Structure 1
Amino acid sequence: KNTIIIMTSNTGADIIQRNFKELNEYNHEEVVDRTRDEVVERLRQHMRPEFLNRIDEIVMFQPLKRKEIRKIVDIQFKQIQQRLQEAGISLEATDEVLDYLGEQGFDPQFGARPLKRVLQRVILNELSKEILSGKVSKDAVVEAVLEDGAVHFENVTLPTV
């Protein structure tokens, strides 16, 4: 039987961050190739040749772009919507809120890992406070909006047809 083993490492992450700051549409291939060479050299400095020779392929992941971050926000926000829907709460959000969550939940060093904590703090915790205080009703559609650089919640009435 064949086995695939996937290993990850942060070795060379500083090189990737530094080099990809200069990335643009004209030098993409050159920057990626140079970065890969530098990262492989760093691996050689930190890992024994006997170990590296057993690795068939090294895949260097590239930092997330805004478009990918927004897709991750959309996926995780939909999961929150589904969980709230099971509790009878209908939550919507403006594009500005979703973009804000992406900005707050992304860190160049850690990628999108902080996003779940941001969603918990900014959406779930704050929405719970608003519902408990009676400022918004869970029986109506709740919309997250961005005002003065912060997420706020308000009830919206859907037009009747």
Structure 2
Amino acid sequence: MAFRFEKLTLKAQEAVVRAQELAGEKGNPEMTPLHLLGGLLSEKEGVIKPLFTRIGVNMSQLTSTVESELGRLPKTSGGATPQPNQAMRQVLDGAAAEAEKMKDEYVSTEHLLLALVRVASLAKNLLELNGVREQDLMNALRDVRGSAPVTDQSPEEKFQALKRYGIDLVERAQQGKLDPVIGRDNEIRRVVQVLSRRT
């Protein structure tokens, strides 16, 4: 399967470009899956951080581990543009296959992450050491993304829109963060009466 850059979502394109920039900054001759993981972790918004949070990954620990491992990769001088190595090409092809399997029109960051978990590389090992398993990732992805297919280049804005733009009053009440309702007995009785009639 030939990988096409234009079939990436905007966030996925940013992650791949950031991976190439990381490889260039570190003086690495090849762009590896580890660089891609670094690019995904540097994402400010998107689906990666909510996925990792749901799985229970310590983001700062994972980020620092990736940074230290990037520092250990072979370096060259000369300023040539780093090219993807074999494992990186497998990750990109795997992400495209994953998008096709999920019936998505574009390859998104979650497809890249799923491919990173599947393709044997240092990035996969680091993810496993930090508790990222494929099945947990799939379950978290279902929760975060729902069943909505990726049909345009910026689907990440649509994922968890309610959580991003709304307030969960039940959660706030359970945490004791809501002000108590005092002196509204008649209104509360009336609301309960109306609501109990409609059920």
* Structure with bigger RCO (C-alpha 8 Å, 6+ apart): 2
Q: Shared topology, TM-score over 0.5? A: no
Q: Please report the TM-score for the alignment, with normalisation by the length of structure 1.
A: 0.28
More strand by share: 1
More helix by share: 2
Q: Please report the TM-score for the alignment, with normalisation by the length of structure 2.
A: 0.24
